[in-house]
Amino acid sequence: MIKRLVLLGSTGSIGTSTLDVVAEHADELCVVGLAAGSNWQLLARQAAEHRVRDVAIADERFADELERACPPGTRVYRGARGLVELVERADANFVLSAIVGAAGLPATLRAVDLGLDVGLANKESLVVAGSLIVPLARQRGGALLPVDSEHSAVFQAMAGGRRDEVARIYLTASGGPFRTASAAEMREATLEQAMRHPTWSMGPKITIDSATMMNKALEIIEAHWLFDLAADQIGVLVHPESIVHSMVEFRDGSTLAQLGTPDMRLPIQFALTFPRRLPSIAPRLQWSEGCLLRFEPPDFERFPALRLGYEAVRRGGTCGAVLNAANETAVERFRGGDCRFCDIVHMVEDVLSRHAWIAQPSLDELMQRDTWARNEVASWRNGR
C-alpha cells in the first residue's frame, strides 16, 4: 500500500530531508499535504515539485502570497487552525510531525486522534503532552514511530528482545560544541559558538538545545513516554563520534545498539517504511577503514539541563510542559542577544521550581502552564 504523507514542518531541516527520502522512494511514498510556519516561497516550490494539492501555512500574513505562488487548484489552509484542518482533510494515512516546538502539538494530537500513524520528530509534543498523546494513540490504534535518531535506535534495538526483558537504555549525546569547554567559557559563550554543532546539521533551536544539552533532557522525557521507562532506566552517555545512536541493555546484561552515519535521512526513512528496510541515500559507515568509538558519562555540573530532564520524568504532571515552554522562550531570548548562554538553563530551572504543579493535567491546564512559563521567562531578569 502506498503511504500518503502529510508533512508538518516541510521547510525545515527534517522536512527537507523527508522530501529527499520521499523522492527516492516515489513508488511507495507520496506527499498529500505540506505545512510550514512562514517560508511560503519554499513551501510553494515544494507543493509544485511534489504535486501536492493541500498546503498549510501557520503565519497567515503569507497565506495570500502562498496561494498566488502555488499551482492552480492548490487548497491553502491558514493559521494554526489551518494545520489541524490539513491533517483532517488531506486524505493521509501517515503524518510526519517535524514542526519545531510546542507549535506542533495541536496538529500532532489531531493526527493521533484520527488513528493515523505518526512519525514523530517533534519531540516537544511528547515532552509537553506525552500523558495525553500516548494513551490516545493506544486507544485510537495508530502507531507512534520515533524519528529522533536516539529513539529510532532504541526502537530498533528493542526488537532484539521482549519488552519485559529490557533493563535500561542509554541515550547517546555528541556533547555538542561545549563538550570540552570550561564552565567559565560556557558562561560567556556566543550565539555563533553555540551554533557550531560538531556532528549534526540541524535547525537553529535544536542546535542550541544540543549546546546546553537541554536536547538530551527533552529526549529523556521523550524516551519515558515512547518506551514506558522510569527515570532510572534511562542513562545518558556522551559519545563524540555520533555513530552509536543509542543502546538497549537487556536483563541478561547483553546490550544491543544501532549504528550509522549521523544523517537524519536514515531514521526518517525507517519510520516511513517500518517494518521494512529499503536502500538509503544516506552515506554508509566505512567499517573496513576502522574507527574509534568513545563513551563518557555526562558532566551534570556543566550541563545542569540533564538533571531537569530527570526531574521532569520523576515529578511528571505539568513539568514537561513548563520545562519545554521555558526553554523555547529562553532559547529565543538567547538567539535575540537578550540573555547569556548560561541563563537559558537557569531560567528553565527557576521557572520549573516555581510553577503551580498539577499531577494529571488536562490539555487546557498544560496550555495554561505553557503560557505562564513563557511569560515568566520573557520577563526574567538576572539575579532574581
CA distance 366 to 349: 18
CA distance 108 to 84: 8
Distances (CA, A) of 220 to 7, 152, 270, 367: 25, 13, 21, 21
Size of the site for Mg ion (CB under 5 A): 3
145 with 274: CB under 8 angstroms?
yes
Is 111 a residue that touches ligand NAD (CB under 6 A)? no
Nearer to ligand NAD among residue 122 and residue 258 (C-beta)? 122
What is the nearest approach in angstroms of ligand NAD to the Cβ of residue 328?
A: 10
**What strands, in cross-sheet order, belong to the sheet with 234-238?**
234-238, 166-173, 244-250, 255-259
What is the nearest approach in angstroms of Mg ion to the Cβ of residue 242?
A: 10
Nearer to Mg ion among residue 108 and residue 152 (C-beta)? 152
CA distance 152 to 169: 12
Out of 93, 203, 256, 332, which residue is the one contacting ligand NAD (CB under 6 A)? 203
Out of 85, 150, 209, 328, which residue is the one contacting Mg ion (CB under 5 A)? 150
CA distance 197 to 215: 13
- Which residues, 89 to 148, sit near Mg ion by CB under 5 A? 148
What is the nearest approach in angstroms of Mg ion to the Cβ of residue 148?
A: 4
Is 37 a residue that touches ligand NAD (CB under 6 A)? yes
Is 36 a residue that touches ligand NAD (CB under 6 A)? yes
Tell me the per-residue interface mask from 43 to 82 with ligand NAD, x by CB under 6 A, - otherwise: ---------------x------------------------
- CB under 5 to 8 A by kind: which of ligand NAD, Mg ion, none does 212 bind? none
Out of 3, 5, 6, 12, which residue is the one contacting ligand NAD (CB under 6 A)? 12
Q: Which of 33-41, 181-189, 290-298, 320-328 is the region at the interface with ligand NAD (rule: CB under 6 A)?
A: 33-41
Please name which of 249, 102, 110 lies closest in space to residue 170, comparing C-alpha atoms: 249
What is the nearest approach in angstroms of Mg ion to the Cβ of residue 300?
A: 19
Q: Which three cell numbers stand for residue 264?
A: 537524519
Distances (CA, A) of 81 to 56, 58, 60, 176, 234: 9, 8, 10, 35, 36
CA distance 85 to 305: 36
Tell me the per-residue interface mask from 115 to 134 with ligand NAD, x by CB under 6 A, - otherwise: ------xxxx----------
86 with 9: CB under 8 angstroms?
no
Nearer to ligand NAD among residue 75 and residue 357 (C-beta)? 75
